[in-house]
Structure 1
Amino acid sequence: MDACGLQCPGSILKLKKSIDEIAPGERVELISSDPGFLRDSAAWCKQTGHKLIAQTEASGRFSTVVEKNVKKDVDVQSVCSTTPKGKTFILFSDDLDKALATFVLANGAAATGGKVTLFFTFWGLNVIKKEIKPKVKKDIFGRMFGFMLPSDSLKLKLSKMNMGGLGRRMMRFLMSKKGVDSLESMRRQALENGVEFIACQMSMDVMGIHPEELLDEVSVGGVATYMAKADESNVNLFI
């Protein structure tokens, strides 16, 4: 049974991708700088059916060895066919810290293999705006909202200690220094891992936001769309 080592910040998504790339019965070792990775990887193995072989800690390096197990994968899939295993998140806020928490949870949920849906409403729409937007015609209220609200995710503020934008810049600096992915990187990872982005049609109408201003991967829906997704899920969170 082969083993491979990876040096990276703690991330269940990286573990999932590594498992996907090896054959049944082979093993993968992931080495992380995140102390929480050991507990997270053990929980992930329990959810997905892969076998946890070993976990070690030495000099700030946290290692997990996992063996790919096909039989458990099949069992998990059969259970998922009869039991709701999806996850839905409503992002109502455009605070940087709350948006970060949302994508951390969404990416973690996507790593378990279930269907994940993010529903963006009201201020949460600012998180999925394009950085470079096409010109669209807006009425006076749409222009007012556009002037007062963040133009894209890079302009999001902290819910606490924003300090006129200094806190936001400090948070992004510390994340980069600690090897933590940026909000934009987490958002891209979510899309790459099949997380569905849905923008609230009513909120868009009220705030004068056009579909062209949002990321191309975003679809538009309403309350009924969200409720249908929630019915298929066993976790629903409002942030």
Structure 2
Amino acid sequence: NVTLFFTFWGLNALRKSDGKGHNKNFIEKMFGAMMPKGAARLPLSMMNMLGAGPAMIKGIMKKKHVDDLDTMIQKAQKAGVRFIACTMSMDLMGIKEEELIDGIEYAGVGTYIASNENAGTTLFV
């Protein structure tokens, strides 16, 4: 069994590319405008090289038949991987449930840790 817990900036990987939250205050709207929407818009590399770095890495991934992050997320969900979005981080950053992809769960860190009490390895995203 695999469970991934997404908190703070990791939540951006779960955002819908066209998702918009309702009833946001000014700061929440600013966070939403500044953060990438969806896995496809996340930076792939620290080697930006004036914008050429991400294009080069995407090209290498395609040439080597490596799925993009959106596809990997979809495959993981189909394989039964649990995706949990941190509700505290969502609240602090003004991210609403309707902005995130379907098929994920919502919980606080305490719930996540309790559910992994017997896990051999625990990782945060």
TM-score, length of structure 2 as denominator length: 0.91
Structure 1 unmatched runs, 5+: 1-114
Name the amino acid aligned to 1:214: L
Name the amino acid aligned to 2:30: M
Percent of aligned pairs sharing the same letter: 47
Which stretch of the first structure deviates more once superposed, 154-163 or 183-192?
A: 154-163
Task: For 1:147 and 1:224, locate their aligned partners in 2 and report how far apart those are by CA, in whole Å.
Answer: 29
Task: For 1:165 and 1:206, locate their aligned partners in 2 and report how far apart those are by CA, in whole Å.
Answer: 30
Cα distance change on mapping 1:137 and 1:165 into 2, 3 Å? farther
Question: Which protein has the larger Cα radius of gyration, Structure 1 or Structure 2?
Answer: 1
Task: For 1:144 and 1:186, locate their aligned partners in 2 and report how far apart those are by CA, in whole Å.
Answer: 29
- Residue 42 of structure 2 corresponds to which residue in structure 1? 156
> After TM superposition, what 4+ stretches of structure 1 lie above 3 angstroms from structure 2?
none
Note if 1:224 corresponds to 2:92. Answer: no
**8 A contact 1:200–1:222 mirrored in 2:** yes
**8 A contact 2:13–2:37 mirrored in 1:** no
Superimposed CA distance per residue, residues 33-73 of structure 1 (whole angstroms, 9 cap, x where no aligned partner) = xxxxxxxxxxxxxxxxxxxxxxxxxxxxxxxxxxxxxxxxx
Task: For 1:204 and 1:164, locate their aligned partners in 2 and report how far apart those are by CA, in whole Å.
Answer: 31
1:52-91, aligned counterparts within 5 Å?
none
- Residue 97 of structure 2 corresponds to which residue in structure 1? 211
Q: Which has the higher contact order (CA 8 A, sep 6+)?
A: 2
Task: For 1:151 and 1:238, locate their aligned partners in 2 and report how far apart those are by CA, in whole Å.
Answer: 20
1:12-31, aligned counterparts within 5 Å?
none
Name the amino acid aligned to 1:163: M
Task: For 1:190 and 1:175, locate their aligned partners in 2 and report how far apart those are by CA, in whole Å.
Answer: 18
- Residue 125 of structure 1 corresponds to which residue in structure 2? 11
Name the amino acid aligned to 1:146: G
TM-score, length of structure 1 as denominator length: 0.49
How many aligned positions are there?
125
Task: For 1:143 and 1:218, locate their aligned partners in 2 and report how far apart those are by CA, in whole Å.
Answer: 23
Structure 2 unmatched runs, 5+: none
CA RMSD of aligned residues (A): 1.5
Note if 1:179 corresponds to 2:65. Answer: yes
After TM superposition, give the deviation of residue 230 of structure 1 in Å. 2.1
